[in-house]
Structure 1
Amino acid sequence: MAKAAALPAPQEGAPSKGPSLVVQLAVLLVLTLVAAGAGYFSGGMLKGETAPEESAAASEDGHGAKKEADHGAAAPEDLAAADLKRGIYNLPAITTNLAAPTDTWIRVELAGVFEGEPDPTVADAVHQDILAYLRTVKLHQVEGASGFLHLKDDMDERARIRSEGKMSSVLIRTIVFE
């Protein structure tokens, strides 16, 4: 009991010893503004050198209409000509059924990579050989990432053998199983 009497009793009229509510709100407001400013500037640094308003204004002409985006968009004819210069020859799409299950179909769009100038007759021979190969493939052989890599390696090997080294590899543009 002696210890309980030693503690001073709280006084009703004594002022509280913490910061006032107005000071707390002012500090909270200042910290919020600092955080918002830091987020805005760091977001601008991460995004790039133009602000959102500047990039929106740059993509519109004087009448408010958006300009055509011309960053990297090329005509398909230009792309085909560029591919031929690099030795890439687009093969016709292959659509066939697999060996097992027989009701599963595959559609593959391929391109052949030639060491020199593309030869259409060699490309057609490779195309027919890959078509015959795909008819012998079973679905479980091409499941997963390793199955896809095995399929690509087999097609590359067939292309090299059939073209007698003129075609170095086959690019798989699209592959769809149904």
Structure 2
Amino acid sequence: MNPNSFFLVDGYHGGILGHMPIGVFRDLFRSMELFPDWKLSLDLESDSFRYLKARDPESYLRLRQMVSENDARIELIAGLYSQPYFWFFNGESVIRQLELGLSDFHTHFPDVPIETYAVQESNFTSALPQILKSFGFKRGVLKNSTTWCGYINGVVDADFIDWEGPDGTTLPAVPRYASD
């Protein structure tokens, strides 16, 4: 890798209400054709794909094909059933969000692993590294945890960190950078 390379970790966040008007995926695919080096992550609640399949089946099929390619440029992330604020819930609810969400995702994308946890909402709890690892997650992105009150994660002057839970379980993660 070139030492002068710069990488931006960001993605598309949304879902049925307000973020998925008809045509949004066609626009996204057009942009990816214009920028062939562009890679994208999608943070969508699991029911979004049922909605997309019913309202824009052509885009649904194209998305299925694109995320299934060996050199996939689109990564499905988070795997949540909805887009909750975990600080309101107990551990069982967090586990159910992942259990139901991943089951829904795999209904639409049976051979596509979801291995990155990256969300916009403040979906964090102290045991999350342990919970995520138990579901097969391999990495996290802590950069975009915004909410109605702004950024809540502290900044770190490092490219990567070991996100550690109270039991000692770690997950490699991209922090919210000090320059953010």
TM-score, with length taken from structure 1: 0.24
The structure whose residues are more often helix, as a share, is 1
Structure number with larger C-alpha Rg: 1
Indicate the structure whose relative CO is greater, using CA pairs within 8 Å and at least 6 residues apart.
Answer: 1
TM-score, with length taken from structure 2: 0.24
